[in-house]
């Protein structure tokens, strides 16, 4: 008995030792592997980023470089631990580079620094990081986007009215900047009164919908304008507004980002404005910037990918349509 027991442990130890020993020579092909890690995978926004990354991959391959994009993200947008694990996994896997949309400006600092120290360059996209230890930051100027929403709100309300700001989540730098920008813009319109700005939509459409219902339960009859800072909260709030019969322009609804549902809501008149980013470009520039770094070219530390205000009047223009309906299928092959 005893000896069999020992034998087992010996075999386990042998396994561990072989696992920890020097790795056999890495016979990899020359393909440059780039991991692209979004905040989540369920938003259409991330599919656009994926499409942009794929677009860059295709272009680079046509230019004679062998590049492979590995797309992998946490299932939920507030699972910091899972995203840290992904960055660590790709670091030990020794991909050639990582493009990351950090879930949290603080929690992802160390994994990114570790990757950089291990010789794996990281390009940060979409949302900021409280560190300078990355190759480049490729993102929308979210503060500008928030300000744009604030001024548009004032214009819609004729400079006077009661508004609600539904925040997204604490620690997400991109949405916090939108919130900040919106509040900053409102400062120049003193007759606009902010009746609520301390509620959070949370990570999923369901949590956003619940938060919206709760807010409208309290302020539904007096509110005249609402700004939501991401796709899910815009959709959730619009749904909640419809339920209490104040959609369709009674409450000016301004959102951020555009999924197919928000566009439908705008067409039916329930949404008055959508601040739209260019996620395809973000994914595309993220990969291109990383490639440039790997090729030893100089890269910009900050790259703005632009925002546009979409309204029912410019909804059908070609530029708007390019942003709203990016040719995702062409790149993702779905």
Partner 1 sequence: MTSKTKQSFRWKDFINAFGPLFGLLLVVGLFSLSADLRPVFFTGGNAKMILTQTAIVATGALGMTLVIVSGGIDLSAGSVVALSSVVAATLLIQEVPPAGVILLTILAGGFIGAINGTIVAGFRMVPFIVTLGMMGIARGVAKWLANNQTVNPSENPLNRIMEPVQPLNFWPLPIGVWITIILAVLMTFVMRYAVFGRHLFAIGSNEDTARLCGVRVRSTKIMIYTIAGFFFGLAGLLQYSRLTQGDPTVAIGLELEIIAAVVIGGASLNGGSGSIMGTMLGALIMGVLKSGSSQMNWPTYMQEIIIGIVIILAVGLDKWRQSKQQTR
205: nearest Cα among 298, 322, 76: 76
Among positions 88, 141, 243, 304, the unique one binding partner 1 when judged by CB under 8 A: 88
State the minimum distance, in angstroms, from the CB of residue 281 to partner 1. Answer: 25
Q: Is 180 in the site for partner 1 (CB under 8 A)?
A: no
Residues 221-240 that bind partner 1 (CB under 8 A): none
Tokens of 321: 């349509």
Partners of 36 in beta bridges? 71, 99
Q: Is 109 in the site for partner 1 (CB under 8 A)?
A: yes
Contact present, 233 and 175 (Cβ < 8 Å): no
Toward partner 1, which CB reaches closer, 83 or 272?
A: 83
Q: Is 14 in the site for partner 1 (CB under 8 A)?
A: no
Toward partner 1, which CB reaches closer, 24 or 221?
A: 24
Q: Is the dihedral of CA 167, 171, 177, 180 positive or negative?
A: positive
The Cα–Cα gap between 172 and 152 comes to 24
State the minimum distance, in angstroms, from the CB of residue 188 to partner 1. Answer: 28
Q: Is 86 in the site for partner 1 (CB under 8 A)?
A: yes
Q: Is 210 in the site for partner 1 (CB under 8 A)?
A: no
Cβ atoms within 10 Å of 55's Cβ, excluding its own: 23
Site mask for partner 1 (CB under 8 A), range 63-82, x = bound: -------x-xxxx--x-xxx
The Cα–Cα gap between 55 and 334 comes to 14
129: nearest Cα among 109, 145, 146: 109
State the minimum distance, in angstroms, from the CB of residue 177 to partner 1. Answer: 16
Q: Is 179 in the site for partner 1 (CB under 8 A)?
A: no
Site mask for partner 1 (CB under 8 A), range 22-61, x = bound: xxxxxxx------------x--------------------
Among positions 3, 21, 63, 313, the unique one binding partner 1 when judged by CB under 8 A: 21
Tokens of 277: 């980013």
Q: Give the total of residues touching partner 1 (CB under 8 A).
A: 51
> Is residue 269 helix, strand or coil?
coil
> Is residue 17 helix, strand or coil?
helix
Q: How many residues does the chain have?
A: 334
Are β-strands 308-310 and 273-276 bridged in parallel, bridged antiparallel, or unpaired?
Answer: antiparallel
Element (H, E) at 37: strand 32-37
The Cα–Cα gap between 97 and 99 comes to 7
State the minimum distance, in angstroms, from the CB of residue 167 to partner 1. Answer: 10
Among positions 6, 13, 94, 302, the unique one binding partner 1 when judged by CB under 8 A: 94
Toward partner 1, which CB reaches closer, 114 or 311?
A: 114
Q: Is 3 in the site for partner 1 (CB under 8 A)?
A: no
Q: Is 10 in the site for partner 1 (CB under 8 A)?
A: no
Q: Is 301 in the site for partner 1 (CB under 8 A)?
A: no
Stretch of 59-67, 99-107, 183-191, 296-304 contacting partner 1, by CB under 8 A: 99-107
Angle at 187 between CA 307 and CA 270, to 5 degrees: 55
Contact present, 305 and 123 (Cβ < 8 Å): no
Among positions 8, 10, 13, 250, the unique one binding partner 1 when judged by CB under 8 A: 8
Instruction: Write out the DSSP string of 276-295.
Output: E--HHHHHHHHHHHHHHHHT
The DSSP 8-state label assigned to residue 169 in this structure reads -
Q: Is 132 in the site for partner 1 (CB under 8 A)?
A: no
Q: Is 18 in the site for partner 1 (CB under 8 A)?
A: yes
CA 327 to chain centre: 19
Residue numbers at the binding site for partner 1 (CB under 8 A): 1-2, 4-5, 8, 11-12, 15-16, 18-28, 41, 70, 72-75, 78, 80-82, 84-86, 88-89, 91-94, 104, 106-107, 109-110, 114-115, 117-118, 170-171, 200
């Amino acid at each position: 008995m005893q000896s069999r027991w020992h034998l087992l442990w010996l075999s386990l130890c042998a396994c561990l030792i072989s696992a920890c020993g020097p790795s056999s020579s890495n016979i990899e092909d020359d393909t440059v592997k780039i991991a692209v890690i979004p905040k989540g995978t369920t938003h259409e926004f991330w599919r656009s980023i994926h499409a942009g990354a794929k677009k860059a991959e295709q272009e680079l391959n046509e230019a004679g470089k062998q590049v492979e994009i590995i797309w992998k993200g946490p299932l939920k947008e507030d699972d910091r631990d899972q995203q840290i694990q992904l960055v660590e996994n790709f670091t030990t896997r020794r991909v050639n580079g990582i493009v990351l949309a950090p879930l949290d400006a603080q929690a992802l600092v160390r994994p990114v620094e570790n990757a950089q120290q291990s010789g794996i360059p990281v390009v940060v996209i979409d949302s900021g990081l409280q560190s300078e230890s990355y190759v480049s930051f490729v993102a929308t100027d979210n503060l500008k986007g928030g300000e744009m929403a604030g001024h548009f709100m004032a214009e819609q309300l004729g400079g006077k009215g009661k508004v609600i700001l539904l925040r997204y989540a604490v620690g997400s730098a991109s949405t916090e900047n939108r919130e900040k920008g919106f509040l900053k813009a409102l400062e120049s319109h003193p007759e606009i009164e902010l009746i609520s700005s301390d509620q959070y939509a949370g990570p999923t459409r369901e949590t956003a919908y619940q938060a919206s219902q709760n807010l409208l339960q309290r302020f539904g009859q007096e509110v005249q304008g609402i700004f939501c800072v991401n796709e899910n909260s815009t959709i959730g709030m619009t749904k909640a507004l419809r339920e209490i019969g104040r959609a369709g322009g009674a409450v000016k609804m301004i959102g951020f980002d555009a999924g197919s549902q928000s566009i439908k809501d705008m067409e039916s008149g329930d949404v008055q404005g959508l601040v739209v980013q260019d996620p395809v470009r973000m994914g595309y520039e993220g990969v291109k910037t990383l490639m440039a770094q790997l090729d030893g070219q100089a890269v910009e530390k900050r790259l703005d990918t632009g925002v546009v205000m979409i309204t029912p009047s410019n909804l059908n223009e070609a530029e708007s349509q390019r942003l709203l309906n990016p040719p995702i299928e062409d790149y993702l092959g779905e």
